[in-house]
Amino acid sequence: MKKAIFIITFSLCLNGALFANSTSNTYIHYAEIPHAERWQEEHPGELPIWLTEEEKLHLDEIGKDFLHTLEPPAPVRQPAEFDPMQGVLIRYPLGISTAIIAEMAEDVIVYCVVSSYSQTAAYNTLNNGGVNMDNVEFLIADTDTYWIRDYGPWFIFNGNNEPGITDFIYNRPRPDDNAIPSFCATYFGINLYSMGLTATGGNYMTDGHGISVSTDLIWDENLGLTHDEIDTLVED
């Protein structure tokens, strides 16, 4: 059985967030961000999951480098999050504990996205945390944040039962993060299929049997598309 690679990242519970709107160059304020200042004090050097004040000035950069590709041969199936997997994808510096990573590395390959200048630190952190380093592969690439669950690749199987990656437009002006799906397709030697939809992985779940769920944020972030056009993009 062909298996999928899943994306693991730190989950931060928020009572609402700020989300980009790439069509109107505005942002939608769903609720106040609780404890935002404290979070940033506790995570120096890291960008939060919400938009920073500086990023709100660069919303027009979202999707500017988007490239159309051929569609995958139908029918397309996306593995469910509970399907068998061959590995998990994380990013260093970490947003999850080494204890969790050590547990995962006992059963699957841990693919760690890390910059070239941080690879030694990543190795030492994982090794000192008791991670089975025989089951760790480093993917050398720059990133903006550790929210890889949001910007990482969506894996699919096309109509020929070949694995591939669907690349959406990440809803943040974070170009290094947005480039990771394309980088992963090259690294794993599989096809990349672009989808002209602004989205985030944290707002998408699927059961692997043709049913997927997103909140109506997907409508708000794609005001240039009708609801039917969005449905068609996802179904195709």
Q: With cut-offs at 50, 70 and 90, classify the pLDDT of residue 102.
A: very high
Q: Indicate if the pLDDT at residue 32 is higher than 80.
A: no
Report the relative pairing of strands 154-157 and 163-170 from DSSP bridges.
Answer: antiparallel
**Rg over CA atoms, the chain:** 18
What are the tens digits of pLDDT across the range 115-165? 999 999 999 999 999 999 999 999 999 999 999 999 999 999 999 999 999
Contacts 24+ apart (CB under 8 A), 180-186: 180/113, 180/141, 180/143, 180/148, 180/151, 180/152, 180/153, 181/151, 181/152, 181/153, 181/154, 183/139, 183/141, 184/89, 184/139, 184/152, 184/153, 185/153
DSSP 194-205: EEEEEE-GGG-E
Whole-angstrom distance, CA of residue 210 vs CA of residue 212: 7
* Closest to 178 measured CA to CA, from 144, 219, 223: 144
Least confident of 29-38, 81-90, 225-234: 29-38
> What is the distance, to the nearest Å, from the Cα of residue 81 to the centroid of all Cα atoms in its chain?
14
- Amino acid occupying residue 233: L
Does residue 108 carry a pLDDT above 70?
Answer: yes
Residue 177 above 60 pLDDT?
yes
The rounded mean pLDDT for the chain is: 86
User: CA torsion 149→5→159→70, rounded to 10°?
Assistant: 50
Residue-range domains of the chain with CATH: 18-61 (no CATH), 66-235 (3.75.10.10)
DSSP structural state of residue 77:
B
Give me the pLDDT at residue 25, please: 38
